[in-house]
Amino acid sequence: MTRVYNFSSGPAMLPEEVLQIAREEMADWRGSGMSVMEMSHRGKEFISIAEKAEADLREVLGIPNNYKVLFLQGGASSQFAMVPMNLLRGKRKADYINTGSWSKKAIEEAKRYCEVNIAASSKDTNFTHVPPQAQWKLATDAAYVHYCPNETIGGVEFHWLPQTGDIPLVADMSSTLLSRPVDVSKFGVIYAGAQKNIGPAGLTLAIVREDLVGDVLPGTPTMFDYKIHATDASMYNTPATYSWYIAGLVFDWLKKIGGLAKMAEINKRKAEKLYAAIDNSSFYHSNVAKDSRSWMNIPFTLATPELDDAFLKEAKKEGLTTLKGHRSVGGMRASIYNAMPEAGVDKLVQFMAEFARRNA
């Protein structure tokens, strides 16, 4: 078996240990005579898998008891609609912070349901920094404040928590959840598609403060109502059972590593190595403001775009794959989520130095 270092932004690498366990349990889950894929979601085997996954996630993230954890489908993209549908609660306005591509998508969707107040934007720097809270113009009558703590495409990350007082803070944490500790009690809703840092595609996590559950916008489809999923323990309909199971194995893996504090230490070190390789070279360049640089998604450019194809081709030969930048940004992007081993970053850094030497 040959595994590459896959720098894909998502679906992304999973820990090899998790894949090994999944392989061992593939055809016969712990003597049940069935694959997890073949189990009834209402059977005792799957219920035990589901409950353990939730308990482990609660432990790893330190989720307070007054929060519901929902294991949904529809991706983070469905949350762009579910958030206003569930949180407007009679109000007509919501605050949004615009820091790039994913913020914009959330904003466009919210506009279908309410008046969107862009409380802050980093458009002036082409979305390469996080606007400091001192510049935010929050509306006093907003139902909630939405932001994207890590812009997966632009590689811009908040390294601080916004303060919104009594107005619920909502975060699209698709590409940062579980990368470091987070004080869940500061949020109304946290949501994330699983395929970046949690598990396989098809699963979407929503962590919702209890008092925000219920009272949806009239006409909201049943499947878009947090209350339905909260009441039925995410089993109103058939959930993404296999993805849920794999996510559970990932939570277990995180516990074995030493939890999110340990994970953050590793992630910070990985990111620093890669940024040092970029900054200490005149061949590579990052245009993201230093205080806003993502630990998870690191876009960079080469001295000239004419070298992009050669870089990608030679990197691939070394087992370093999927480094092509998003079409809207160009250049390269290395996504280094939890499951990217530090050795993968070391190898990329070494390759970058050699490539620069040969092509500068």
Ligand X SMILES: *Cc1c(COP(=O)(O)O)cnc(C)c1O
Active site members:
102, 172, 196
- Position among 54, 56, 95, 172 found at the interface with ligand X (CB under 6 A): 172
Burial class (CB in 10 A: 0-12, 13-18, 19+), 41: middle
Nearer to ligand X, 49 or 106 (CB): 106
Interface with ligand X includes 152 (CB under 6 A)? yes
**Which residue in 148, 178, 189, 329 binds ligand X (CB under 6 A)?**
148
CB of 38 to ligand X, least distance (A): 25
Number of residues counted as binding ligand X (CB under 6 A): 12
- For tokens 């035990």, the residue is 48
CA dihedral 157, 207, 65, 93 (to 10 degrees): 90
259 near ligand X (CB under 6 A): no
Minimum distance of ligand X from residue 79's CB (angstroms)? 8
CA dist., res. 110 & res. 106, Å (int): 6
Q: Which of residues 108-137 bind ligand X (CB under 6 A)?
A: none
Beta pairing, strands 156-157 & 150-151: antiparallel
Taking phi first (over 0 means left), then psi (-120 to 50 degrees means alpha), and beta for anything else, what does residue 319 get? left
49, 53, 76, 190: which one binds ligand X (CB under 6 A): 76
Residue 174 interacting with ligand X (CB under 6 A): yes
Task: Please report, for residues 107, 181, 296, 298, the alpha-carbon distance to residue 334 in angstroms, rounded to integers and kept in the order given.
Answer: 26, 22, 8, 5
Applying CB under 6 A, does 11 fall inside the site for ligand X? no
Nearer to ligand X, 99 or 286 (CB): 99
Name which of 9 and 351 has its Cβ closer to ligand X.
9
Rounded to whole angstroms, how far apart are CA atoms 348 and 273? Answer: 10
199 binds ligand X (CB under 6 A): no
Measured from the CB atom, the residue of 86 and 356 that comes closer to ligand X is: 86
What does the angle CA 276 – CA 278 – CA 284 come to, to the nearest 5 degrees? 165
In whole angstroms, the minimum distance from the beta carbon of 131 to ligand X comes to 17
Chain length of the chain: 360
Q: How far is the CB of 82 from ligand X (least distance, A)?
A: 11
* Closer residue to ligand X (CB): 175 or 338: 175
Q: Which three-class secondary structure string do you get for 171-209?
A: EECCCCCCCCCCCHHHCCEEEEECCCCCCCCCCEEEEEE
Q: Which residues bind ligand X (CB under 6 A)?
A: 10, 75-77, 102, 148, 152, 172, 174-175, 193, 196
